[in-house]
Structure 1
Amino acid sequence: MKKVNGHEIITLFEQWSPKRFAEDWDPIGLHIGQLNRPVEKVLVTLDVNEMVIDEAIEAGVNLIIAHHPPIFRPMKHIWTDTPQGRLIEKCIKHDISVYAAHTNLDVAPGGVNDLLVDKLNLKEVQVMAPSISDPLYKLAVFCPVEHAENLRTVLAHAGAGALGDYVGCSFSSIGIGRFTPAEGANPFIGQVGKEEAVSEERIEVVLPGPMRSIVVKAMLAAHPYEEPAYDFFMLDQRTEEFGLGRVGKLDKEMSLEEFARYVKSAFDVPAVRVVGNFNKSVRKVAILGGSGSKYIRDAKRTGADVFVTGDMDFHSAQDAELLDLGIVDPGHHVEKVMIEGVAKKMEDLCAEKGYEITFIRSVVDTEPFRFIM
């Protein structure tokens, strides 16, 4: 097992939940401390408050991965006699770094919204409000025929050639490559100053734009030539769409009242707020973790019968009524599903890399609301 530092952990995390998925206004990333030091224990939490920091200190944690950024608005001063200043001071004194993944974790496949979908057991799931899709590129690289099979394998392992449910997709054609090694060259084939003609294979693979550097690095490392010939072409096709929220279908139709009780049970909350006729039929469900009042029209546009989201305000609820869109509000705190989801995902990713690291699930209840039934 390999000991790691914070940079290695966060680099792995951002391959799953990249910063480019975040909204422009969202202050994600490293908030407190540094990543350039060894990490043995990581605490995963929804929120960062002083009780969570005390939990991290007691457990000997070096790094906290949180969903909600602890410094959401810019600070002009850090006064350690204020609650927020005291929190920052305590982290620094105990060498605890804090990293926040917010809307990027909402958007990421397998992130917050997909974890919420799993709780409701929705089927035929799609993105509710698409915001990101990357261009696809084609890499064409030339190499000696006898080395082509190995190079195709390397490209596939680097992630190139994945199309839908298929991996390792490529196309090859055979031709003659001609070159003359100049003075100072160290040719794999041929001699300096002498023209060479080699039977070469042109290998073509498709890959998403964000993977270009990874694939090129793998290709250059595996290619026998010191100066490989290759081209990149941007294609009209784009990758799958990413975005906020999800929409899917229930196994069976139920009334809005039945569905609201189902949500209450699935998310283990003491109560839910409901907008709409209790007898309304519900089959198609839109869901967005956190505050979703700005997205009621996106939910309606998908054909959803009901929208599950938190922090619904009065006037947005009235708008939803006018749209005949049911609302079930289980609160913002249901995003706590990310604690187990992120910890499990990172354990799997780190195991693949052979990293020696422990992920701890926070058990501090950070829900600020209490209910009198």
Structure 2
Amino acid sequence: MLVKGQTVIQLFEAWCPKHIVAMPDDKIGLQLGTLQKEITGILTALDVTEEVVEEAIRIGANLIIAHHAIIFRPLAHIQTDTPAGRLYEKLIKHDIAVYIAHTNLDVADGGVNDMLADALGIQVKGHLEDVHTEKLKKLVVFVPESHHQRVLDALFQAGAGWIGNYSHCSFNIPGTGTFLPQEGAKPFIGQAGKLERAQEVRVETIVPESIERRVVQAMLKAHPYEEVAYDLYPMDLKGRTVGIGRFGTLPEPVTLEKFIGQVKRALDVPFVRVIGDPGQTVRKAAVLGGSGARYVRRAQFAGADVLVTGDIDYHTAHDALAAGMAIIDAGHNIEKIMKRGVADVLRAKLEVAGYSTPVTPSAVSTEVFQFM
């Protein structure tokens, strides 16, 4: 069964929600086309170029999920004799939608920076910078004993009940509920005009504010009552925190020279730019996809001996060298790791949900630099 476009994005944003970043210039979400259609195929790409669009046409994909935006600023016009205009025209003519996941994909658990850290063997200890902490609410609902487990299962499946690394967290108290159905009511238990006493369970669980609506809808669908008694309380307790970049330890100390070789092999890059002594020992490493100039000091403060990133400028490199901080600039294109990573996650989510729409990582290289 093919999946609808909106369902694809709901599944994707359950992993990488848009609200977890607040970068004013970040372009996240649907940039071109419509999601109100069946998706015949999904192509995951780092950049959307004409070659990538041709690839989507060739494999029958009508949705591209990319990391880098195709529209960066308001358009004054779309002229189809320009490179950008030709790209938009081809996408529109072939009914291919383009959805962008940028910083939300960078910071999400299991996102780009975790993919890079995993590839390099970094045992992650934290973020270079925290960007969002989830607000939590407590949900309390009263359920008849006959439907207790059904409602619990619906709550947990919708994402409720997580405390740290523990899932399915709840507290359940049996008791007696009372209600008097009025004229016109269609009660699940009892009859109109007669006071009813029902054996119920008070269920308490934790709900992240970002999925509150989804959890409540799942609860209402599973609950047998015509009118469901429930409460939502704001809490001072905070949920999970997501952030930019990762830092951690290596399985064993290595020289910077040896680690450079690991980076080149793991991230599939032919050359890197290096700041630092190739003979120095590396025990702790940090990684950040994209430009890492702003995070060199944070990496050093976190105890990292080396930062693996891309697009380091000349003056930042000098400052890092003077401070004794090694940097491996492997290029912005190392974020291509997201193509297969996103495809694997999304394919698994679709299979669990019962959909057969194929998900394919782009085979097109969008590296713009030539190494002579």
**Aligning the two structures, in what range does the TM-score lie when normalised by the shorter sequence?**
over 0.9
Counterpart of 2:155 in structure 1 is 155
Structure 1 position 110, deviation (Å) = 1.5
Counterpart of 1:14 in structure 2 is 13
Structure 1 window deviating more from structure 2 (2-11 vs 112-121): it is: 2-11
C-alpha RMSD of the superposition:
1.7
Q: Which runs of no fewer than 5 residues in structure 2 stay unpaired?
A: none
Structure 1 window deviating more from structure 2 (16-25 vs 142-151): it is: 142-151
Q: Alignment partner of 1:237: what SS?
A: strand
Paired with 2:124 and 2:79, the residues of 1 have a C-alpha distance of: 50
Paired with 2:42 and 2:146, the residues of 1 have a C-alpha distance of: 46
Counterpart of 2:254 in structure 1 is 254
Whether 1:332 aligns to 2:329 is no
Paired with 1:10 and 1:42, the residues of 2 have a C-alpha distance of: 11
- The answer (yes or no) to whether the contact 2:117–2:124 under 8 Å persists in 1 is no
- The answer (yes or no) to whether the contact 1:275–1:328 under 8 Å persists in 2 is yes
- The answer (yes or no) to whether the contact 1:31–1:71 under 8 Å persists in 2 is yes
Q: How does 1:70-89 map to 2 (within 5 A)?
A: 70-89=70-89
Structure 1 position 105, deviation (Å) = 0.9
**Identical columns (%):** 49
Structure 1 position 152, deviation (Å) = 2.3
Paired with 1:103 and 1:66, the residues of 2 have a C-alpha distance of: 12
Structure 1 position 163, deviation (Å) = 2.5
Paired with 1:26 and 1:228, the residues of 2 have a C-alpha distance of: 40
**How many residue pairs end up in the alignment?**
371
Counterpart of 1:285 in structure 2 is 285
Q: How does 1:119-158 map to 2 (within 5 A)?
A: 119-158=119-158
Partner amino acid for 2:5?
G
Q: How does 1:1-373 map to 2 (within 5 A)?
A: 2-22=1-21, 23-372=23-372
Structure 1 position 116, deviation (Å) = 0.6
Structure 1 position 367, deviation (Å) = 0.5
Q: Could you give the per-residue CA deviations for residues 108-165 of structure 1, whole angstroms, max 9, x where no partner exists?
A: 2221111111110111442221111111211111123343233223322332222233
Q: Alignment partner of 2:139: what SS?
A: strand
Paired with 1:128 and 1:180, the residues of 2 have a C-alpha distance of: 57
Paired with 2:189 and 2:9, the residues of 1 have a C-alpha distance of: 42
Structure 1 position 83, deviation (Å) = 0.7
- The answer (yes or no) to whether the contact 1:40–1:356 under 8 Å persists in 2 is no
Q: Could you give the per-residue CA deviations for residues 1-60 of structure 1, whole angstroms, max 9, x where no partner exists?
A: x22232222222111111113433111211222111222112111111111122222222
- The answer (yes or no) to whether the contact 1:127–1:241 under 8 Å persists in 2 is no
Partner amino acid for 1:139?
L
Structure 1 position 333, deviation (Å) = 0.4
Structure 1 position 82, deviation (Å) = 0.8
Flag as ranges the 4+ runs of structure 1 deviating above 6 A: none
Paired with 2:30 and 2:45, the residues of 1 have a C-alpha distance of: 15
TM-score, normalized by length of structure 2? Answer: 0.94
Q: Which runs of no fewer than 5 residues in structure 1 stay unpaired?
A: none
Structure 1 position 85, deviation (Å) = 0.7
Structure 1 position 261, deviation (Å) = 2.5
Q: Alignment partner of 1:239: what SS?
A: strand
Q: Alignment partner of 1:214: what SS?
A: helix
Q: Alignment partner of 1:243: what SS?
A: strand
